[in-house]
Amino acid sequence: MTARAWVEKMIVRISVRIVTALAVTLLANLSAQAQQAAPSRLDEIVKRGTLRVGMTGDYKPFTYLDKTTQQFSGFDVDMAEALGKALGVKVEYIATAWPKLMKDFEADQFDIAMGGVSVTLDRQKKGFFSMPIMREGKTPITRCGDVGKYQSIADIDKKGTRVIVNPGGTNERFARANIKDAEITVFADNTVIFDEIAKGNADLMMTDASETRYQQKQHAGVLCAVHPEKPFDFSEKAYWLQRDMAFKAFVDQWLHISMEDGSYKKIYAAWFD
């Protein structure tokens, strides 16, 4: 190869590298500009003037929908109103159900799911979770006279034991993963499911420790939570957000401030203490 040919070859190589570098830089700039131009979910909520909150309305004390008045109430309803106030927007409640919660979330029916939502990896794949608001775990609730019979999963998973679950959520998933010999009955109405245990139509339900404590108070002397301080597994509750970092950052900061200034504790005490 002559010196001239070698020089020409090097010029071509350098030119290709320069063009490639310019193209990469241009694409990066365009991407950055597009990200800056695209409004975040947080921006959309503020501009819209409403925060759309998905709730099942069947999980006391977190959320309950009065079918007569069509009004939601509960711990997470009060928290949602506090979040709306912090955002400077109104809260719009979107009724959903545990079996279709993920489908409604994927369809963007709401900005955030609240109402006793447990953190799961399947849900994490679809959106973001806020910082945890509560440490949880599944534990039984049964008639007070039967507490000693159901201390462990081995105690529960015996032929003749009647386990009742609500459909489509983590309670049913936990029961089916751990119960092989006991009978599992799916009961559709989660608002009165504990009455089935009280009436003797089922022996127990395994649900979140916070719910067993609450239902124990609602059925004083009839139903008792079984070691809610030592549940069978570990889980956390949080708020499930559509995937947007600005929105998550706001919700996390709001929660942090709420937990530090006592407002979270005040709402918690109204429903759980």
- Domain ranges across the chain: 41-135+236-272, 138-233
CATH topology of 41-135+236-272 equal to that of 138-233?
Answer: yes
Could you tell me the CA-to-CA distances from 140 to 47, 58, 108, 120 in Å, in that order? 45, 19, 34, 20
Residues 6+ away with beta carbon under 8 Å from 50: 89, 90, 91, 92
pLDDT of residue 25: 53
Question: What is the C-alpha separation between 244 and 139, in angstroms, rounded?
Answer: 34
Q: Is the pLDDT of residue 122 over 80?
A: yes
Query: Mean of the pLDDT values across residues 46-68?
Result: 96
Considering the four listed CATH numbers 3.60.15.10, 2.40.50.140, 3.40.190.10, 3.40.50.150, the one that applies to the domain covering 41-135+236-272 is 3.40.190.10
Element (H, E) at 249: helix 245-261
pLDDT single digits (tens) 229-254: 999 999 999 999 999 999 999 999 99
Alpha-carbon span 86 to 247, nearest angstrom: 12
| Closest to 179 in 3D by CA, of 200, 160, 192 | 160
Q: CB within 8 A of 45, min separation 6: which ones? A: 51, 87, 89, 111, 247
- Fold that domain 138-233 belongs to in CATH: D-Maltodextrin-Binding Protein; domain 2 (3.40.190)
Cα distance from N-terminal residue to C-terminal residue, the chain: 88
> Residue 14's pLDDT band (boundaries 50, 70, 90)?
very low
Burial class (CB in 10 A: 0-12, 13-18, 19+), 254: buried
Q: pLDDT by residue (tens digit) across 59-107?
A: 999 999 999 999 999 999 999 999 999 999 999 999 999 999 999 999 9
- Give pTM, 2 decimals: 0.79
